[in-house]
Amino acid sequence: MDETPVDKGGGGSPDAAPAVGIGSRARIARIFVAMPPEVVLIVVLVILGAIFWQGSEFFLTTRNMRNVLLSVSVLGILAAPGTLLLISGNFDLSVASAAALCGCIAGIVAEENSAAAAILAALGVGLLAGIFNGVLSAYAGIASIVVTLGTWLGYRGLARLFSNGQTIRMNGKVEFITNDILGVPAQIVLFVLISVLAWFVVRYTRFGRSVYAIGSNPTAARLSGIRQKPTIFVMFIVSGLLAGLAGLILASQLDAASGNAATGVELEVVAAIILGGASLSGGRGTIPGTVLGVFILGIMQNGLTLLSISSFWQDVATGVVLVAAVGLDQVRLRLSGS
Amino acid sequence: MTTENGALNQRLELRATGLRKSFGGVEVLHGVDIAVEGGEVLALLGENGAGKSTAIKILAGDYKRDAGVIVIDGEEADIRSPRDAGAYGLRVIYQEFSDAPDLTVAENLSLGRLPRNRFGLVDWSRVRRDARRILEKLGIELPIRTLVGNLGVAERQVLEIARALAGSARLLILDEPTSALTLEETDALFAFIERLKAQGVAIIYITHRLDEVERIADTVLVFRDGDAVAEGPVSEFGRKEMVEAMVGHELVEEVASLRGEDHDIGEAVLTIEGATSEGVFRDVDLEVREGEILSLFGRIGCGALELAEAVFGLREMTGGSMRVGEQSGQPTSPKDAIARFGVGFVPIDRKIDGLLTVLNVAENLSVASWPWMTTAGLLPPRATAKVFERWYETLDIRGKGGATQSVDTLSGGNQQKVVLGRWLERESRLLVLAEPTRGVDVGARAQIYHVLRRFADKGIAVLIVTSDIEEVVRISDTIVVMSRGRVVARHRASDVDRAQLIRQAAEDTVEAAAAG
């Protein structure tokens, strides 16, 4: 990475760079540098919220917020293991394809069997998909981005193959998965639970800290006695299992399974994680950041729809916000001289 | 590009006077003069840290000098960047290659200035013609259509020099060019240097190998502690004079204070017998005991570093036996070495292999002990912060941010203390350190030595691999000299003679063995 501190004309040592002079601009710059990245995201979120609230009275209603949560829950569930993987320097690009595959398997099994069998089948296939990714990435030494680019295609192909290219109707069999729990839809509860669990694991467990260590410097981690392969393997398994869960939620929401479900969601997952402050080169990233990233993406989509802006322009706007937010964070890092 | 007497480029005359340089308030180069001219090979001789590389980095425009004048061909030269130095015809050939391994020899020779034809496309026939002409002129035989990555190390080095000359270099600065070469390759390189000399190229040759100075250099300039301490035609120097100039005699008293002669050395912690790893080291016997600091001294490539890697489970031994305490056998992985054998390892390059960059100081200190600190998988931040509190005073880790400061933002010396502290926290019984004070400032270096000594006194066994003679004499109880994969000498620290150590490390096994 670029190690050169930004010289703001005053010269001096790198840590003095943001504090050139004692003017208010310098003070603002210092506050900006000292802020945790999550604060930047919250500011972005609030600004977006204010804009949409101005444009539509419906935006800030409970019902609409519930809609936003419903629309991002699958994204959020997939982004949790994705964040851990990216912190360790790994990718799982196959999650959306795996979710579609698991959904289709659930649909096929549900035709002649109980809902429990369908759920087990979906989670089982998700587990297998994760094991396959994990074995190749962790133990066979193939870069995970390559492995999961392959399975991104492969799992999607299998999903379409099993569903025969058709939508599989589930006739209400798995609808109960997304029933309300104490008045809150189950997928939102799952999103919250999984995010909290992931946050806890990342922050308070040896496993979580090992993930950071591996992403920060794999060689140093190995020389410190951290076992890299099992750690990466476990993350892929979790990612696969949660892809199975995501597939079930999608199938339940639509009461149908399709080989084309969740197309493109894998990149939304990566976008949310990056937005949340993770670095593509590993070692950096947080779960609260990712959750905020997920919310920003969801609110963009929801708000722009309420403002009746065409979906094409929505994509453009989301792209701009993504690059701008990451760019802002880069400026912050550069100013802090690290 | 071609001049009258068949040479590629004009002769040059360089005269630098009073070069000074400080880092962070500490002067490391105290007003040094360097003079060299076309057709001359000037050897820069000196131990690590003597100021050789600082001096050439000033000439090459990598460092800005604090004082001094550089005169080239009678005119004062304004060198502020490597680009400026290149414009005057000064080029450094570093040990790392700067070529493009995936391109052919011919294209590498025209890299950055590929000729184009009238359609604006690359003129490949001219690229090949130029390449043949340059190689012919220099008397080199290299297949011009071969990919550079497929060449041998020696061939790539020669190509690197040819590229510099094709880019109109007139003064070549060679930085320990033979460190990765076999004897035959070294002969070939020297023959090539002789030819360049005859063609009027000026050469500054950096080395700490005395035999090479005698073979190739016309004049020698010896550095010690940032000063040029001796200079003159090689013919007027004997080996003994050169070594004396390199080593000096001042620091001897200070050394004694750090040695642990008064305390008892206990039972054997590490025992190695007949250790062999094909082509790297052979029949090495070694014993490091409780409370003992043992230095494995040798030049880069002598096999000591590889032996240390074997002790830490990073390299398989093909023969011999190893034992740490009551654990016999060789560790299969670093994890095994840490957990089962209780070995701690401070690697040679802390930036690349030692530090968990981005993570904070407390986590870097505690990482090897995580398995101990964890209950039911939990590792609260408070626990790692406690580790920091335990060590920052003992190790005098100086940083503004305390436990949560990112380890990237510490100075080199403090970073090294963190890597060392990692193994003290882990309560390793054997510490293996590779070049522990390379790139560490003088103050931190002394602190690291004191910490090592203190923990040795508590019963830890310490094995240091080093090519730094200063380090050897300052810290060791026992010194084992290695050369070409074998142990060539063993000394008690009390009867050590620097000149003798350097000679033993520099000579071939056969001679040394014959000598004693």
Per-block mean pLDDT, blocks of 10 residues, chain B (516 long): 56 92 81 93 83 89 91 91 89 83 90 84 91 88 89 86 87 84 79 90 86 90 89 86 72 46 74 91 93 88 90 92 92 93 90 85 92 86 89 82 83 86 93 85 77 88 89 88 89 79 69 41
Residue A286, sorted as left (phi over 0), alpha (psi -120 to 50) or beta, turns out to be beta
Angstrom distance (rounded) from CA B307 to CA B321 = 12
Is B312 in Cβ contact with A223 (below 8 Å)?
yes
Q: What is the pLDDT of residue B510?
A: 43
Interval A265-290: pLDDT, tens? 999 999 999 999 888 888 889 999 99
Identify whether residues B193 and B276 lie together within a single domain: no
* Number of structural domains chain B divides into: 2
Domain ranges of chain A: 76-287
Instruction: Say if the Cβ atoms of B379 and A208 lie within 8 Å.
Output: yes
Regarding whether B51 and B82 lie in a shared domain, the answer is yes
User: Has residue A22 got a pLDDT over 70?
Assistant: no
Backbone angles phi, psi at B152, to 5 degrees: -75, 170
In a domain, B160, yes or no: no
Please check whether residue B359 lies inside any domain of the structure: no
Burial class (CB in 10 A: 0-12, 13-18, 19+), B287: middle
What is the tens place of the pLDDT at every residue in A173-194? 888 888 888 989 999 999 999 9
Does residue B224 sit in the same domain as residue B266?
Answer: no
Quick check: A338 and B408 CB within 8 A?
A: yes
Mean pLDDT across chain A, nearest whole number?
88
Q: Is B417 a member of any domain? A: no
The answer to whether A247 and A158 have CB atoms below 8 angstroms apart is no
Residue type, B47: E
What local confidence, expressed as pLDDT, does residue B261 receive? 53
Q: What is the dihedral of CA B202, B205, B210, B212, to 10 degrees?
A: -70
Out of A203, A207, A224, closest to residue B367 by CB: A224
Per-residue pLDDT, B493: 79
Give the model's pLDDT for residue A194.
97
Q: Which residues of A touch B (CB under 8 A)?
A: 15, 203-210, 212-213, 216-217, 219-227, 283-284, 337-338
Phi, psi at B323, each rounded to 5°: -145, 135
Q: Which of A17, A38, A41, A11 is nearest to A29 (CA)?
A: A17
Dist CA A152 CA A134 (whole Å): 14
Residue B363, both tokens: 């986590």
Residue of B nearest to A217 (CA): B356
pLDDT of residue A177: 87
Least confident interval from A134-138, A155-159, A171-175, B231-235: A171-175
B5 is a domain residue? no
Asked whether residue B199 falls in the same domain as residue B310, the answer is no
pLDDT of residue B210: 77
What is the H or E stretch that residue B328 is in?
strand B327-328
- Note whether B335 contacts A: Cβ–Cβ < 8 A: yes
CA distance A80 to A248: 17
Q: Are residues B239 and B300 in the same domain?
A: no
Residues of chain B in contact with residue A37, where contact means CB-CB under 8 angstroms, are: none
Give pLDDT tens digits for A221-255: 999 889 999 999 999 999 999 999 999 999 999 99
B354 touches chain A (CB under 8 A): yes
User: Can you tell me the distance from the alpha carbon of B171 to that of B155, in angstroms, rounded to the nearest whole number?
Assistant: 20
CA B431/CA A191 separation, integer angstroms: 47
CATH number at residue B306: 3.40.50.300
Could you tell me if B51 and B198 lie in one domain? yes
Compute the distance between CA of residue B293 and CA of residue B476 in angstroms, rounded to an integer.
5
CB B452 within 8 A of CB B482: no
Residue A173 is predicted with a pLDDT of 86
The whole-model pTM stands at 0.74
Q: Are residues B197 and B320 in the same domain?
A: no
Planar angle of CA B502, B505, B506, nearest 5 degrees:
85
Would residue B378 count as lying in a domain?
no
The last residue of a domain, from among B184, B219, B247: B247
Query: B421 with B447: CB under 8 angstroms?
Result: no
- Mark whether B80 and B210 lie in a shared domain: yes
Nearest to A205 among B347, B354, B377 (CB): B377
Residue B226 lies in a domain: yes
Same domain membership, residue B182 and residue B91: yes
- B80 with B64: CB under 8 angstroms? yes
Same domain assignment for residues B268 and B325: yes
Do the beta carbons of residue B70 and residue B223 sit within 8 Å? Answer: no
Query: Which of A206, A216, A223 is most worth mutating to test chain B (most B CB atoms within 10 A of its CB)?
Result: A223
Please give the share of chain A, as a percent, with pLDDT higher than 90: 66
3-class state of residue B503 by DSSP: helix
Q: Is the pLDDT of residue A18 over 70?
A: no
Distance (Å, rounded) from C-alpha B151 to C-alpha B155? 6
- pLDDT at position B447: 82
Give pLDDT, residue B264: 61
Among A30-34, A128-132, A178-182, name the one with the lowest average pLDDT: A30-34
DSSP state of B439: T
Residue B411 maps to a domain: no
Q: Is the pLDDT of residue A65 over 50?
A: yes
The answer to whether the CB atoms of A206 and B354 lie below 8 A apart is no
**End-of-domain residue from the set B221, B247, B273:** B247
pLDDT of residue B6: 54
Question: What pLDDT was estimated at residue B4?
Answer: 41
Q: Are B265 and B205 in a shared domain? A: no
Tokens linked to A116: 């429990």
- B283 occurs within a structural domain: yes
Residue A44 sits at the vertex; the CA angle it makes with A43 and A45, to the nearest 5 degrees, is 90
Task: Tell me the residue range of the domain where B317 lies.
Answer: 252-342+462-516
Domain limit, last residue, from B220, B247, B274 = B247
Residues of B in contact with A223 (CB under 8 A): 312, 314, 334, 345, 347, 353-354
Rounded CA-CA distance B410/B418 in Å is 10
Residues from chain A that touch B356, judged by Cβ atoms under 8 A, are 212-213, 216-217, 220-221, 224, 283
Q: Residues B238, B264: one domain? A: no
Distance separating alpha carbons of residues A8 and A25, to the nearest angstrom: 12
B112 in contact with chain A, both atoms CB, cutoff 8 A: no
